[in-house]
Structure 1
Amino acid sequence: MELFSFYNVENLFLPDPRPKHKLDPTISGLKGWDERKYKNKLQKIAHVFQLIKEQKGMLPFMICLSEISGKKVLEDLVQMKPFNSEYGIVHYNSQDERKIDVAMLYDKNKVEMIESEAITFFFENKNTENCDTTRDVLFSVMKYKEKIINVFTAHLPSKREKDINRHKRIFILNEIRKRILNLVNAGEHVILCGDFNENPDDENLVKILYGNSQEKVMENPFQQLFSTGNYSTFHYKSGLLFDQIILSESFKEDNMLSFQGAEIFRSEKISSRDKNFRGRPFRTYSGTRYLGGYSDHFPVFVTLGKMQNKCENINLSRE
């Protein structure tokens, strides 16, 4: 059995240099983001995966991340327990204006990285001569026990200001869908994961599940979780499930990596301590106020394992 995880870790930046003047902008955009807070953040993120290991008996063999800035934060993270320098890193510096990236960590004892690519998108800005940039989509080709798994990791443009970024999300998902269809038609495994800034029932994420002839090519197990009131993050009073892992239909028939289930990791230890926000993630910041928590998102994961023989569920014993 193996776990595949995605986690939006909420602004994992290196400590800000001390500004020369009080009003100077910081690199992170966070208030008072210093060495102490950075180290606490790293320990918190590492602790999340220690908890997953304790509860599930293993670490995920692949971990996709969003809201990290630069490779150094990942290098610092994988040196810590429970990773113990046994995880490789796939990362590119994106063109995002805040220098926010996506990345992948993978267990080097189980997984080999074959190739990777940062898929970059530029959008025309009608108000300036410059192009708008956003976070890259990370494409990684991974090898696990002679099996090839194509992984897309995304952090799509956010919903803000009456959702002015919706056209960007539509364009990015349409481009990724073309790539997915080529891989699926070639009979390859595909995983699309990320913070989509849309719920599983939104039109864009439903469309990506189907081919050009409306045949089912991908499965989103987080649709069922969302429909039963399970959320990974919140906005004011609204529960959201923006964090999802979508798999090609081929995982249903894989003897070794058959899809077993999906879960939002909502341990009480990483949940808010405020009774007014019970059941929500214990975040690092609330606006400019430092809380010292983990992230404003819960991690999500899917379980992959040996396909069950239908005969195993039949009770052959006589009464």
Structure 2
Amino acid sequence: MLSVVCIFSGYAGEVDKIVVATWNVENLFDTVLNQSGGADAEFTPKSWRRWTPERYNQKIDNLAWVISRINPDVICLQEVENEDVARELMDRIQSSHGLGLGYLAHVDSKDRRGIDNAIISRYPISGIRYSPDGYTRGTLVADVEIDNTAITFFVCHWKSQSGEAAENIAIRTRQALAVRKNVLKYLKKNPSASVVIAGDFNENFDDVSLVKTFEAVTERKESAGTAGDSIKFYNLISDIPPDERGSYYYARRKVWNTFDSIIVSPMMLISPENPGPDWRVSTIESGVTKVFALPEMQEEDGRPKAYRRVRIKGKPDNYYVDGYSDHFPIVTTLLRGVPEDSKKRGQK
């Protein structure tokens, strides 16, 4: 099912910049067992997770708190169970923190785990569609309408790295090819569109499936000016200092990963000579694109503080760490048009 919901959203005047975020919120399941079966049986009160309504509500509260601190205009979410869960998070953001994020887009995927993608926005959403990606989850595609302009979002969640490595790489390669094909098809019909591809790709920003197959490059000059079937997208993670790019920590190998990305079409790179789309990415400035990791969201060693059941000596068997997610969000700012200072630099 494809759906868009509007509860309340307030904005006035012409908008010249927006904050965009993406976040894998890690297993945001309600406590109700899916009557048609599926993988949500572990997220029930009597399961090994002891996933009670109180714990579910606490996680919703915790996620809403983080989102209120980001204060995004648009946030792309991964690992939400269904529309009801996404709507409850949206409602909590508004009721507890007063943010005017009143528009929701969601698609039911065919994922075996029962996890979907969603978008919560301050601005109206239209054209919601489900785009196959060569795997079970598919891609959520939607247009966020801002004044008389629009930004088209492709929200992805690619195959995880759990299981057999070669098989996983093959699946992510298929996903990369499928999503690229879908984005190129859209851009051929809408060449001046502002397009953002965001999500959890389960690939580091410089890995093969993203760089070689999807062709999301890590240098602006490689992307700028490319078009047609030769388009090279630009991964905004490249703008973050190397020692600040990690959004997911793989404890077994003790390594930081850059699985979460915000990628843009080359037309969105600011160029005074190029009329381009209505919305652009900022020039490279410190902090414009960043991993959002408040101290409260981190373990003592800096890892993301997840909300999960753990076994700790002296604690009850069903003890939960009061955290958030095993991923940090990625945040960036998009600008409307070409800033005056960029125009002046282009005239020199």
TM-score (norm 1): 0.80
Q: Which residue of structure 2 lines up, in the alignment, with residue 169 of structure 1?
A: 172
Moved more, 113-122 or 68-77: 113-122
Letter in 2 for 1:35: P
Quick check: 1:259–1:304 contact (8 Å CA) kept in 2?
Answer: yes
The match for 1:283 among 306, 322, 332 is 306
Quick check: 2:194–2:278 contact (8 Å CA) kept in 1?
Answer: no
- Is 1:31 aligned to residue 64 of structure 2? no
Distance in 1 separating the partners of 2:109 and 2:231: 32
Helix, strand or coil for the counterpart of 1:165? helix
Helix, strand or coil for the counterpart of 1:258? strand
Change (3 A) 1:255 1:214: closer
Change (3 A) 1:8 1:121: same
Helix, strand or coil for the counterpart of 2:174? helix
Change (3 A) 1:249 1:311: closer
Change (3 A) 1:214 1:88: closer
Quick check: 2:80–2:115 contact (8 Å CA) kept in 1?
Answer: yes
Quick check: 1:226–1:241 contact (8 Å CA) kept in 2?
Answer: no
Quick check: 2:128–2:141 contact (8 Å CA) kept in 1?
Answer: yes
Distance in 1 separating the partners of 2:278 and 2:229: 28
Distance in 1 separating the partners of 2:241 and 2:53: 37
Deviations 1:97-149 (A, max 9, x none): 11111111111xxx222211112356xxxxxxxxxx62221111222222222
Helix, strand or coil for the counterpart of 2:42? coil
Distance in 1 separating the partners of 2:342 and 2:238: 29
The match for 2:328 among 290, 298, 313 is 298
Quick check: 1:200–1:226 contact (8 Å CA) kept in 2?
Answer: no
Identity over aligned pairs, percent: 26
Distance in 2 separating the partners of 1:71 and 1:137: 15
The match for 1:9 among 8, 25, 30 is 25
State the shift of 1:75 in Å: 1.6
- Is 1:245 aligned to residue 262 of structure 2? yes
Distance in 2 separating the partners of 1:220 and 1:169: 17
Q: Which residue of structure 1 lines up, in the alignment, with residue 281 of structure 2?
A: 259
Change (3 A) 1:188 1:30: farther
Letter in 2 for 1:178: K
Q: Which residue of structure 2 lines up, in the alignment, with residue 126 of structure 1?
A: none
Change (3 A) 1:256 1:267: farther
Distance in 2 separating the partners of 1:151 and 1:311: 25
Helix, strand or coil for the counterpart of 1:97? coil
Letter in 2 for 1:165: N
State the shift of 1:247 in Å: 0.7
- Is 1:93 aligned to residue 93 of structure 2? no
Q: Which residue of structure 2 lines up, in the alignment, with residue 103 of structure 1?
A: 118
Quick check: 2:133–2:179 contact (8 Å CA) kept in 1?
Answer: no
Distance in 2 separating the partners of 1:187 and 1:308: 18
State the shift of 1:204 in Å: 1.5
- Is 1:192 aligned to residue 197 of structure 2? yes
Deviations 1:164-215 (A, max 9, x none): 2211111111111112223334221111001000001011211323668885
Q: Which residue of structure 2 lines up, in the alignment, with residue 20 of structure 1?
A: none
Deviations 1:18-66 (A, max 9, x none): xxxxxx95356761100110010000000001222xxxxxx21111000
Deviations 1:277-304 (A, max 9, x none): x211110126786312100011111111
Moved more, 245-254 or 60-69: 245-254
Change (3 A) 1:25 1:105: closer
Letter in 2 for 1:184: L
Change (3 A) 1:249 1:160: same
Equivalent pairs counted in the alignment come to 285
State the shift of 1:153 in Å: 0.3
Letter in 1 for 2:193: E
The match for 1:141 among 137, 140, 143 is 143
Quick check: 1:200–1:206 contact (8 Å CA) kept in 2?
Answer: yes
The match for 2:126 among 114, 117, 121 is 114
Distance in 2 separating the partners of 1:219 and 1:120: 22
Distance in 2 separating the partners of 1:84 and 1:222: 26
Unaligned stretches of 5+ residues in structure 2: 1-16, 34-39, 217-222, 271-275, 283-287, 312-318
Quick check: 1:9–1:297 contact (8 Å CA) kept in 2?
Answer: yes
CA RMSD of aligned residues (A): 2.7
Letter in 1 for 2:258: L
Helix, strand or coil for the counterpart of 1:79? helix
State the shift of 1:312 in Å: 8.7
Quick check: 1:184–1:217 contact (8 Å CA) kept in 2?
Answer: no
TM-score (norm 2): 0.74
Quick check: 1:66–1:194 contact (8 Å CA) kept in 2?
Answer: yes
